[in-house]
Amino acid sequence: MLSFLIRRLNLLLITAFILTILAFAIDRTILIHHQTQPIVQQDYVLQYFSYLWNIFSADLGHSALDQQPLLQRGLTFFASTLELCFVALLFSCIIAIPLGLLAGLFRNTKLDYAIMTVAIIGLALPVFWVGVMAVLLPSVWGDILPVDGNMSLVYDIPVVTGFLLIDTLFVTSQYGLFAFFDRVAHLILPAAVLSFFLIAEIVRLTRHSMTMVMRSNYIQTAYAKGFSRTKIVFKHALNNALPPIIPQLRLQLSTILSFAMTIEIVFNLNGIGTWLFNSLKTGDYHALPAGMLIITGFILMFSIAIEITMVIISPIRRGSLYAD
């Protein structure tokens, strides 16, 4: 286990080193092309270590528009993006896991074909097109759900955690739960659009995992002992079919975040995608390397944390680790 942790720590350090070099290169390029004053030539190695020290000091620079710290603003907007991803993932799991289990249990039947057809359509549809169609819904069905912004302008929510679903609970003495429900209403359509891709991916992963479990030897032994299909599925198959899905979803994290950033622009949500888009439009180019470090740093640390957690909680993963 110790050697596994050391290998993952080395992977974290090497990847973080490469990311900081990319961020430094982008930052220097921006500085050279948009500097009005002549730049004092300096060794790039010294400049890189100075940039690295600023990162360790939680200083990614300041916005050229309002002189606000880029790290603080980026984390606030990124929290809104993570909130959208979490709600979409919750929607997707509630819908996709039962469908994937049914498709795996009834493989090559009409039910399986119908579920996988819907999943393939979800993978094929461009997420920005689905977002535009969702924005057009109020013009067809009436003002059912809001399609613009994070919240209604009547609510003034101070930033505490950056997660509006949590921050709205701190002002219940002023607004009651109306602010919370308003935030939920603004999240429903964007989360539903993002869940299109997630549902399709989770259905595919769950179906494959369930199929492999149902074909395993211990399931066939349970059938031979005369156990009922219901007991086999709920007592033996589910416990082994669901855990392998988590590491696979980890590989889709970057895709999920990129889709969420696209949806933010379509629905005008104040997430990190909209922040980066508006920063580039207004010439605040230093937000680009700051946003890149925030997003990639989160993906890297989250992926390694999930992998270590799976090794701790999964006997099969621990066994394969010791075998290696």
Domain with 86 in it: 76-144+192-323
CA dihedral over 87, 144, 146, 273, signed as positive or negative:
positive
| Residue 234 DSSP code | I
Distance separating alpha carbons of residues 213 and 236, to the nearest angstrom: 9
Rg (CA), the chain: 24
Question: Looking at the domain assignment, is residue 62 inside a domain?
Answer: no
- Determine contact, residues 164/83, Cβ cutoff 8 Å: yes
> What CATH number has the domain bearing residue 84?
1.10.3720.10
Amino acid at 275: W
- Determine contact, residues 106/229, Cβ cutoff 8 Å: no
C-alpha dihedral (265, 269, 270, 272), degrees to nearest 10: -50
pLDDT in tens, 256-279: 888 899 899 888 888 898 998 888
Structure tokens of 22? 């990319």
Neighbouring CB atoms inside 10 A of 127's CB total: 19
Distance separating alpha carbons of residues 234 and 54, to the nearest angstrom: 53
Neighbouring CB atoms inside 10 A of 208's CB total: 18
Residues 6+ apart with CB under 8 A from 106: 112
Q: Token match 């290998």: residue?
A: 7
Identify the three-state secondary structure at position 289: helix
Residues 6+ apart with CB under 8 A from 23: 51, 289, 292, 293
- Determine contact, residues 203/119, Cβ cutoff 8 Å: yes
C-alpha distances (whole Å) from 209 to each of 63, 196, 239, 254 are 47, 20, 11, 22
Question: Looking at the domain assignment, is residue 10 inside a domain?
Answer: no
Q: What angle do CA 79, 71, 64 make, to 5 degrees?
A: 120
Question: Looking at the domain assignment, is residue 2 inside a domain?
Answer: no
Name which of 118, 98, 91, 124 is nearest 195 in CA terms: 91
Question: Looking at the domain assignment, is residue 82 inside a domain?
Answer: yes
Calculate mean pLDDT across residues 15-42: 74
Neighbouring CB atoms inside 10 A of 43's CB total: 8
Question: Looking at the domain assignment, is residue 229 inside a domain?
Answer: yes
Distance separating alpha carbons of residues 75 and 291, to the nearest angstrom: 9
Check whether 141 has a pLDDT greater than 60: no
| Interior/surface letters 80-94, b for 16+ CB within 10 angstroms, e for the rest | bbbbbbebbbebbbe
**pLDDT band at residue 136, thresholds of 50, 70 and 90?**
confident
pLDDT in tens, 173-185: 888 888 888 888 8
Question: Looking at the domain assignment, is residue 101 inside a domain?
Answer: yes
Structure tokens of 87? 């709600």
pTM for the whole thing?
0.84
Question: Looking at the domain assignment, is residue 310 inside a domain?
Answer: yes
Calculate mean pLDDT across residues 153-158: 84
**pLDDT band at residue 129, thresholds of 50, 70 and 90?**
confident
pLDDT in tens, 210-226: 888 888 888 888 888 88
Percent of the chain past pLDDT 90, that is, above it, reads 3
**pLDDT band at residue 242, thresholds of 50, 70 and 90?**
confident
Calculate mean pLDDT across residues 72-79: 90
Question: Looking at the domain assignment, is residue 45 inside a domain?
Answer: no
Q: Token match 């907007």: residue?
A: 77
If one counts the domains in the chain, the total is 1
Helical spans, DSSP H, in the chain: 2-34, 44-56, 70-105, 110-124, 127-135, 137-141, 164-167, 172-175, 178-214, 217-224, 229-231, 238-241, 245-251, 253-267, 272-281, 287-313, 315-323
